[in-house]
Amino acid sequence: MSTRVRLAGRIIEAREEAKLSQRALAGAAGMSPSVLSRIEDASRLPSMEQLRDIMSVLEDHAVGVDTAFWYSLLENAAALTVEMRGGFVQVNQHVVPFPDVQMNRSSSTGDVRLWDPLRRSLPSTDTGPHDGAPDPTLVSTLEELMTALNEVLVWSGAPSLRQLEIRSKKTGYRLSKSTIGEMLKRPKLPPYERYQAFLTTCGITEFGPWLHVWRRLKLLERGDQIGA
């Protein structure tokens, strides 16, 4: 799973635990709300100083933060994108390239893109809001499923639980804020319809891999119940 998205998810979870809005956290951390919004939707990595300031604010609000782990996520998120178009080179200055990063060149666009070896696939060249959806194929535990669902939330633009509740009505299965919050904070296998409604609400269209994960975890759950 992308460490960039994982870091964004940690920030969102901690901010919500501190009961802070994006604007409030951004102001206290000395950055604009738009910058924090891009950090939380995983389209931008924070600098080391920005991450330090974010953690400091969260700790001031009595939220426990594993600073060493957060810094390691930042260091491992070597998702440096170098675009070579028309003679111009654009580099995300907040990311430090690592020597073990692999390179891919697109023959059709001429782009050169460096990617995090921890990622399962290269970022898409599409610029739409739903490109590069999280891949659940390596999920094997309930804890990993909870992390994957949080990645889906961030990938979908990090909407509030209230926004998801409203959007879910279109799926024919209304999700309450408390129900969504439980799915994102407790390593517990949700009922199938609730699980599908959440993924559909977030914009997942390739449901097959997610269904396979749910079935596998359900079999493990039933096995534990039979053996109890």
| Contact in structure between 42 and 154 (CB atoms under 8 Å) | yes
What is the enclosing helix (H) or strand (E) of 151? helix 142-155
| Contact in structure between 90 and 46 (CB atoms under 8 Å) | no
Residue 107: the pLDDT is 33
Cα first-last separation, the chain: 32
Residue 81: the pLDDT is 34
Q: How far apart are the C-alpha atoms of 158 and 33, rounded to whole Å?
A: 14
- For 166-210, write each residue's pLDDT tens digit: 989 888 888 999 999 999 998 999 999 999 999 999 989 888 899
**Regions of the chain short of the pLDDT cut 50:** 78-131
Residue 172: the pLDDT is 84
Name the residue type at position 112.
Answer: V
Between 192-201 and 177-185, two packed helices, what is the crossing angle to 10 degrees?
100
Owner of token pair 């319809």: 193
Q: Would the CA dihedral through 165, 182, 58, 34 be positive or negative?
A: negative
SS3 142: helix
| Contact in structure between 55 and 65 (CB atoms under 8 Å) | yes
Q: Would the CA dihedral through 211, 215, 220, 222 be positive or negative?
A: positive
Name every residue whose Cβ is closer than 8 Å to that of residue 228 and which is 6 or more positions away in sequence.
none
Residue 92: the pLDDT is 38
Q: How far apart are the C-alpha atoms of 33 and 17, rounded to whole Å?
A: 18
Q: How far apart are the C-alpha atoms of 17 and 14, rounded to whole Å?
A: 5
Residue 18: the pLDDT is 93
Show the tokens assigned to 171: 């799926």
| 224 to 140, 153, 186, 218, 228: CA distances (angstroms) | 15, 29, 18, 10, 6
| Contact in structure between 203 and 130 (CB atoms under 8 Å) | yes
Residue 207: the pLDDT is 86
